[in-house]
Chain A
Amino acid sequence: MLLDAGDSLYGSQPLTLQSSGKVIVEGMNKLGYDAMLIGDLDLRYGPEVLAQRIAEASFPVLSANVLRASDKQLVGKPYIITEVGGRKVGIIGITWDGIDLQDPVLKDQYIVLKADIVLPQYVTEVSRKADIVIVLSNMGLEEDQRLSSAVPGIDVILGGRSRNPMEASWRNQKTGTIVAQAGAQGEWIGRRTLTIDGSGVVKANRGELIYLTEDYADDTDIRTWLDNYTVQ
Chain B
Amino acid sequence: MSRRFVLASLIMTLILLSVGCTVAVSTPTPRPAPTATRKPTATAEPQPFELVLLHTNDTLGYTEPCG
Contact = CB atoms under 8 A, between A and B. Distances in A.
Interface of A: 1-13, 15-17, 21, 23-24, 27, 39, 41, 84-87, 89, 131-132, 134, 156, 158-161, 163, 180-200, 203, 212-213, 216, 226
Interface of B is mostly: loop
A27 B5 CA distance: 121
B66 interface: yes
Given A185-B67, A187-B65, A194 B51 contact: yes
Contacts of A182: 55-57
A193 B59 contact: no
Nearest to A24: B61
Interface residues of B, number: 23
Nearest to A185: B62
Contacts of B61: 8-13, 15-17, 21, 24
A142 B23 CA distance: 89
Identify the 9 closest CB pairs spanning chains A and B, nearest first: A11-B61, A160-B57, A16-B61, A11-B60, A212-B65, A5-B57, A184-B58, A8-B59, A198-B46
A4 B52 contact: no
17 contacts: A3-B56, A5-B55, A6-B57, A7-B57, A8-B58, A11-B59, A13-B61, A17-B61, A21-B61, A39-B58, A131-B46, A156-B53, A159-B57, A161-B58, A182-B56, A184-B58, A199-B46
